[in-house]
Amino acid sequence: MQKNIILLISILLLIGSGNLLLGQASSIDSLQIMLSETKGDSVKSEIIKEILKHYVKSKDFDKAEEYAVELQQLATRVGSNDLLGKAWYNLGIVKWLKKEEVESNIYFEKSVPYIIDTPDSVLLGKCYTKIGTNYLRLSDFKNAILYYHLSFDVRQGLHDSTGMANNLINIAGCYYQMAEYDDAIRFYHDALKIAENTGNLKLMAYNFNNIGNVYMKTEDFTDAVEYIHKALEANRKLNDEREASKNLLNLAKAWQTLGDTSKAEQYFLESAGIMEKLNDHEGLSTTYNSLGSIYKNLREPDKALIYFLKAYDLVKLSNDKFEEATILANIGSVYLNNHHKKALEYYLKSIEIANEINARHLVMSGYEGLIEYHRFFGEYEKSLYYYELKTQLNDSIYNEKTVNAIAEMQTKYETEKKEKENEVLIRDIRIERYSKRFLIVLIGCLFLLLLAIIYTFRLNRKSLKQSKVLHSKEIELNQLELAKKELEKEHLGDKIFAEQQLNIMQRQKFEAEIEHKNHELANSALYIVNKNEVLSDLKEKIVSGTKAADNKNYLQEVIRMIDNNIDLDQNWQKFKLQFEEVNPGFFDRIKQKHPDLSDIYIKLSAYIRINITTNETAQLLNVTLAAVKKSRQRLRKKFGLAADDSLFDYISKI
C-alpha cells in the first residue's frame, strides 16, 4: 500500500515537472517503466490514463487505442463501474478521433449505463453529445437529434447554459442538413435566447450568422442581410476580424444574389481587405474568385481576369485542388469570352487537376468549355470528341449513383443491425445489475410484509370484540345519518338548479353584451372607412374643380381642411378604446408574445381579430390593397405560421 502511494506521488511529480513534460520521450518512457513495475490496480489505472493522454495529444491514435483497451481490461478485472464507464468512454473518444463513427458509438453506448450508475452528469452530457456528433457524421440526423436532446436535458439539470446552447445549435444544424429550415431557425433562436440571457456576445454572433445562412437557403435575402449584419456588429464589438470577414463575405453573396452588384462588390472588397491583413490565403482566394465572377457578369473581363489570377496564385499556396480547378475553369471562360486561344491551356489544366481529385462534375464543366472553345474556332472534330467524353462521363456518374444507392442501403441495414445488437447488450447489462438489486429489495419487502401480517392479525383479533359491541350502535347512527342526508340532498338539488338558471341568464346577458359591443366596434370601423372614403372623394372632386374655378385659393383651403379631418391616429385611438372594451388585454398579450411587432402590424392584427375585410383595412390604414396583402403575408411569417394555418384563428386565440 505504501509503495503504491509513493508511485502515485511520483506520477504527479512527473506530470507537473517542467523538465519532464508528457510530450517528451523521457516522460512516456518513465510512465511505461512505472506501469510495468507497479502492482496496485488503482495506481496502474492512473498511469494508463496519463499514457493514453500523451498518445492522444501526440495524435498517435493506434497507440492510444492499445492503452484504452488495456484500461478497459483492467476495469473489467477490478469490477469498478466508475472505471468501466470511463474506460469505454475513452475507447469511444479514440475511435471518434480516428473518425470510425460506428465503432465509436458502440463504445460510447457501452459506457452510458456505467456513467448513469456512477453518476457523473458532466461526463454523461459529453458522452451523449459525442454520440450525436457521430450520427451527424454518418448523416443519421434523426438519431443525432435524439442524443443532442438527451445531452440538453442533462446539461439543463446542471444549469450549464453554454452546453445547452451548443446542443440547440447542433440540433438546428441537423435540421439545416435535412432542409427542414423552419425547425432549424426555431432551434437557432432558442440558442440565441440563452446567449442573450447570459450576455455571451460570441455565441450571439454565431447564432446571428447561422440564422442568416438559413434565410439565404430559403431565399429570404432581406432577413438574411438583417441577421448577418447583426453578426457583423457583434464580431466588430468583439474585435474578431476573422469572423467579421466571413460575415462580410456572406453579405456580399446575399447582395450578389439579390442582383445588387455594387453592394456585393463593396462587401467583397472590404472582406478581402481584412483577409489580406490576416494573411488568410484560403479566404482571399474564395473572395477574389467571387469578385472575378462579379466582374465577369458585369462584362468587365480585364477586372475579372485580374481577380481570377490573384485567386489562382493564392489557391496554389493552400493546396486546395478543387478550388484550383474551379478557378482555372473560370480563367478559361474569361479568355473564351474574349475569343483568346489561351482559354485552351486553362481548361486543360482544370480538367487535369479535377481528374486527379476525381471531381467529375468539374471535369464535365471543363469538357463543356472545350466543346464551346473548339466549336468557336471551327475545330468541330475536337468539339465532337469532347462532347463524347462528356456524355460517357455523365453516364458513368449516373451508373455510380445507382451502385452507391444500393451500397448505402446495405450499409444502413448493417448499421441498424449492429445498433440493435448494441441495444440488446446494454439491456442485458442493465437487467443483470437491476436483477441483483431487485432480489435484495424483494427479500427485504417480504420480511417486512410478514411482520405486518402478524401485527395486523393480532390487532384485528383484539379489535373484533370491540367491533361487535359498537356495530349495533353504528347501525342506528347510520340510519339517522341517511335520513339527514336525504333531506340535505333535496335542498341541495333545489339550490343547484336555481344557480344553474342564474348562470345561464348571466351568460346569455354577457354574450348579448359582447355581440352588441362587437357590432358597435365594427360599425365604428366602417364609419371611419366611410368617412375617409367620402372625404377622399370630395377631395378628388375639388382638386379637379380647381383647374377651372376662379376661386382656386379658396378651394385649396377647403382641401387642407379635409386633409386635416382625415386623422388616422385619432381614429385609431377611438377605435382602440372601443376595441379594448370588447377584447380587454389583447394589445398587452400580443406585445408580450411578439415584442418585435411594430405598431402597423399590431393595428393589422386588431382589424383581423374583428374580421374586417382587406378592402376595409386598406381604407383604415390609408394604404393600397396590395400593401395590406403583403403586410398580412409578413405578419404570418412573424407569427411563424405554416401555409395552411389560419391567421384569423391564431390571432383570435391570443
Distance CA 632, CA 533 (A): 22
The answer, yes or no, to whether residue 569 has pLDDT greater than 80, is no
Q: Backbone phi, then psi, for 178, in 5-degree steps?
A: -85, 0
* Residue 192 pLDDT greater than 70, yes or no: yes
Tell me if 532 sits within 8 A of 619, measured CB to CB. Answer: yes
User: Under CATH, what is the fold of the domain 567-652?
Assistant: Arc Repressor Mutant, subunit A (1.10.10)
Q: Is residue 605 within 8 Å of residue 631, measured between CB atoms?
A: no
CB-CB neighbours of 179 under 10 Å = 9
What is the b/e burial string over 227-243, where b = at least 16 CB atoms within 10 angstroms of the residue's CB?
bbbbbbebbeeeebbeb
Per the listing, cell 456524355 goes with 391
Cβ atoms of residues 529 and 619 within 8 Å? yes
Cα–Cα dist 312/328, whole Å: 7
Query: How far is residue 411's CA from residue 138's CA, in Å, rounded to a whole number?
Result: 11
Residue 193 neighbours by CB under 8 Å, 6+ apart: none
Beta carbons within 8 Å of 68's beta carbon, 6+ residues apart:
52, 87, 90, 91, 93, 94
How many angstroms separate the CA atoms of 532 and 618, rounded? 11
**What is the pLDDT, as a whole number, of residue 280?**
83
552 pLDDT band, cuts 50/70/90, is low
Q: Which amino acid is at 55?
A: Y
pLDDT band per the 50, 70, 90 thresholds, residue 473 = confident
pLDDT confidence of residue 439: 74
Q: Show the cell assigned to 621.
A: 390604414
C-alpha cell at 586: 389583447
**Contact at 8 Å (CB) between 650 and 608?**
no
pLDDT tens sequence across 389-442 = 999 988 887 666 554 544 455 545 454 555 565 455 555 555 655 565 667 777
Given a cut of 90, whether residue 619 has pLDDT beyond it is no
Residue 632: CB atoms within 10 Å:
16
Whether 11 has a pLDDT exceeding 60, the answer reads no
Sign of the CA dihedral 486, 487, 490, 494?
Answer: negative
CA separation, residue 637 to residues 256, 612, 632 (Å): 24, 20, 9
Output phi, psi for 319, to 5 deg: 60, 30
Angle at 182 between CA 181 and CA 185, to 5 degrees: 85
pLDDT digits (tens, 9 = 90+) for 220-263: 999 999 999 999 999 999 999 999 999 998 999 899 888 888 89
Domain boundaries, the chain: 567-652
Distance CA 310, CA 301 (A): 14
Cβ distance 47 to 38 under 8 Å? Answer: yes
pLDDT for the residue 169? 96
Identify the pLDDT of residue 443. 83
The single-letter code of the amino acid at 425 is: L
Cis peptide before 584 (omega within 30 of 0): no
Range name among 372-376, 469-473, 515-519 with the lowest pLDDT average: 515-519
Which cell is 270 given? Answer: 472590404
Does the structure show a pLDDT above 70 at 566? Answer: no
> Does pTM top 0.75 for this prediction?
no
Q: What is the percent of the chain where pLDDT is above 70?
A: 80
Does residue 40 register a pLDDT over 80? no
pLDDT at 12 over 60: no
What pLDDT is attached to residue 3?
Answer: 43
Give 383's contacts (C-beta < 8 A, 6+ positions apart).
Answer: 370, 371, 372, 373, 374, 375
Over residues 154-164, mean pLDDT: 93
Q: What is the DSSP letter of 308?
A: H
- b/e burial code for range 50-83 (CB count within 10 A of at least 16 → b): bbbebbbeeeebebbbebbebbbebbeeeebbbb
Lowest mean pLDDT, pick from 23-27, 104-108, 276-280: 23-27
Amino acid type, 178: M
Q: How far is the C-alpha of 636 from the C-alpha of 647, rounded, in Å?
A: 7
Q: What confidence tier does 463 reach under pLDDT thresholds 50, 70, 90?
A: low
* Residue 414: per-residue pLDDT: 54
Residue with the larger pLDDT of the pair 299 and 11: 299
**Mean pLDDT over the full length of the chain:** 82
Amino acid found at 420: K
Confidence of residue 533 (pLDDT cuts 50, 70, 90): low
Asked if pLDDT for residue 132 goes beyond 90, the answer is: yes
Would you say residue 349 has pLDDT above 90?
A: yes
The pLDDT score that the predictor gives to residue 453 is 85
Give the pLDDT of residue 148: 95
Band of pLDDT at residue 572, cut at 50, 70 and 90? confident
